[in-house]
Structure 1
């Protein structure tokens, strides 16, 4: 049964808007070529989307071309504005962006552990308002929040999780009250990092993969056949609670101590570095542990090159030579790879994803060297062929994923009710 004219317009409009989002500004001729639609149909949809304020003329194609055929059409970036928040135990990072995801303003709010719920929430709300002011934005269409902990799949709310500050659970409601016209959504931070790595990072060519988050804590995100899997209770990927060997106890329902977190969380990585004589960072958090790993990788590669200049760029995928294999840096990284491989092998045995991305600050700091060491151990532990990749976005993946999610949801809302042609006069 052929589509009705109104349904066909909906399909064509969404197709054109999607292409303009993915490929940037396009001429009517380029839209015709990419969509396969007729010239009159493209001209009609361009006029309709422009009248609805969804697209603008943003320039011309070619310095020597002029006239209607040279006009470049793009998404109307100012049609709606977005905010993205990366909520951590120790503070929040905020971005305000336009509809195409261009960042207009940023803010960072440190929050100490002794800060009460009310003051903490007020600081974050004030930071969002301040970023909006610097961006010249009066209101927000969609706010995307990335936070640690479990997200209730039925309500979309952050569940009460042991060890997380109470202000995390109050933030969404406070922002909704401050921004009554906005859509405020919360997603698990590791899931957002996986989205960002798939769209813009190390997993762009993979429909099925697992992101192993290695930062202040540990987590995993599972993407199967292009779909993020959350589980019945929203707890897919809570790998920090995975019981593992080499720990003095087992985790409980309220405490992941004794689980994989005890082997590969930031504090454990910093302690492992100290055991191998590496300098201690200023804080045993995600960035601090990442610095320990980064220094070890750079010094090991410098030793392999026979140079003391560890700051100069190294070839991609560079692995240490046997002459550097006996150093403390190498021993530290191999011990860390042994620990990480336990978690990776457990995930691979159950899911067989074919690809595991080592994300977070630690995964990015370890780069190809740490990924290669983990892959080597995994080959000895599992019969399943699995590629291990270093994350490309590091700790910024959560914020980027929150922004991508906010942009997608805003666009879906704006584009779901397509503009109708004007009535004849």
Structure 2
């Protein structure tokens, strides 16, 4: 998936798009720009009257009348009600995007399951299911089960096919091909399911690294909202990072931007190699390392504080530590010191101004962990950097996939943004 095909978070608001409209655009180009401007405004602010569209876009009344007629004829908008604050009449009609004009599919691939969701054109999830995959399941059967589950969800939503499909998966995605780059460590059924989804009629599949999708979700709906430059540091079973610079998700020449687990750092007793990240940042902040550190401080998942008994071990331990008094505070401080090593390296190279802690460990640590990381970082780096806890939660990858599919479908139906 190259930079032009990939999802770029932080699309311009309607007023910014209006300022960017070229004065020398041809009539057809100008119409396309105006249509997209109005559609973006309707998406961001909900149903609007023609008068509100005129105010929000800065377009003339005749131009707004023409685009409303054009978008209605295309089945993209419809009258959804009337404004009670105005007199009855044409200007009081409320126009909204026809959300069921297209349906989207989003898939979150894990080692032992696939979570699949179907959403409308505005990204509102209408149906969702989880498909378990056993360790001995044949890849072709796992792929068939996934496609069958998606088709069942589409039927429940009244859709014949998805207009776009976005898949989040661990591992590298080649920016040039949009496919997995190497399959080492990637379950064989992941590639089989992506291939099967690509065979669906007229449904382009956007394959994206899971951490990149989580960053999209945090930027649109979570703690990075309103920022066009930030880094999401993923702290879970493994470690990773997603980099958003100037509103664009950066993937790198080989799709490896953010492979922070391989970052050489002090305190690991070794160095990573091309064959594995042991000895790198992963050895300090991956889930196994977090569990070992917790044991040193006597933290147990059963400590008071409402830890989730079904949570992954590292998540449960960090969550328990937040409520475990002095022992928990000491553990969180030691963990924050480790995490700050990776954050400091990222900041020294990119100066993002904001780092969001995501993944199971980042989510469990919340503000208590983020504040400690910020304190350690301030002592190591002269660059001012906010450290925030992720707020989208455990569904960040699936939410990011919904948003990526929504962007792809809207670009197809509405015309490219920006």
Normalising by structure 1, we get a TM-score of 0.87
How far apart in 1 are the matches of 2:220 and 2:164?
20
The answer to whether structure 1 residue 32 and structure 2 residue 57 are counterparts is no
Alpha-carbon deviation of 1:395? 2.4
| CA contact 1:214–1:363 (8 Å) conserved in 2 | yes
The answer to whether structure 1 residue 297 and structure 2 residue 322 are counterparts is yes
Structure 1 equivalent of residue 353 of structure 2: 354
Moved more, 167-176 or 137-146: 167-176
Three-state SS of the structure 2 residue aligned to 1:78 is helix
| CA contact 1:209–1:354 (8 Å) conserved in 2 | yes
Q: Map residues 213-292 of structure 1 onto 2, 5 A cutoff.
A: 213-280=234-301, 287-292=312-317
| CA contact 2:100–2:120 (8 Å) conserved in 1 | yes
Distance change in 2, residues 1:284/1:237 (3 Å): farther
Q: 2:141 aligns with which of 105, 112, 119?
A: 119
Q: Map residues 319-330 of structure 1 onto 2, 5 A cutoff.
A: 327-330=326-329
| CA contact 1:274–1:280 (8 Å) conserved in 2 | no
Structure 2 equivalent of residue 143 of structure 1: 165
Q: 1:185 aligns with which of 193, 206, 218?
A: 206
Q: C-alpha deviations, 1:381-402, integer Å up to 9, x for none? A: 1122211111111321111111
Q: 1:199 aligns with which of 216, 220, 225?
A: 220
How far apart in 1 are the matches of 2:112 and 2:265?
28
Alpha-carbon deviation of 1:20? 0.9
Tell me which stretches of 4 or more aligned residues in structure 1 moved more than 6 Å.
281-286
Alpha-carbon deviation of 1:367? 1.2
How far apart in 2 are the matches of 1:285 and 1:160?
32
How far apart in 2 are the matches of 1:188 and 1:271?
28
Structure 2 equivalent of residue 106 of structure 1: 128
Structure 2 equivalent of residue 93 of structure 1: 115
Distance change in 2, residues 1:110/1:262 (3 Å): farther
Distance change in 2, residues 1:341/1:161 (3 Å): farther
Distance change in 2, residues 1:50/1:205 (3 Å): same
Q: 1:58 aligns with which of 60, 66, 80?
A: 80
Q: C-alpha deviations, 1:304-356, integer Å up to 9, x for none? A: xxxxxxxxxxxxxxxxxxxxxxx211121111111111111111111111111
Alpha-carbon deviation of 1:18? 1.1
The answer to whether structure 1 residue 6 and structure 2 residue 28 are counterparts is yes
How far apart in 2 are the matches of 1:127 and 1:366?
34
The answer to whether structure 1 residue 172 and structure 2 residue 194 are counterparts is yes
Distance change in 2, residues 1:2/1:343 (3 Å): closer
Larger Rg: 1
| CA contact 1:172–1:185 (8 Å) conserved in 2 | no
Distance change in 2, residues 1:113/1:284 (3 Å): farther
Q: Map residues 307-322 of structure 1 onto 2, 5 A cutoff.
A: none
How far apart in 1 are the matches of 2:368 and 2:29?
52
Structure 1 equivalent of residue 7 of structure 2: none
Unaligned runs of 5+ in 2: 1-22
How far apart in 2 are the matches of 1:366 and 1:338?
13
Three-state SS of the structure 1 residue aligned to 2:336 is helix
How far apart in 1 are the matches of 2:134 and 2:337?
34
| CA contact 2:322–2:368 (8 Å) conserved in 1 | yes
How far apart in 2 are the matches of 1:205 and 1:13?
24
Normalising by structure 2, we get a TM-score of 0.88
Unaligned runs of 5+ in 1: 301-326, 418-425
Moved more, 157-166 or 348-357: 157-166
Backbone CA RMSD of aligned residues: 2.2
How far apart in 2 are the matches of 1:262 and 1:111?
28
Structure 1 equivalent of residue 6 of structure 2: none
How far apart in 1 are the matches of 2:94 and 2:324?
50
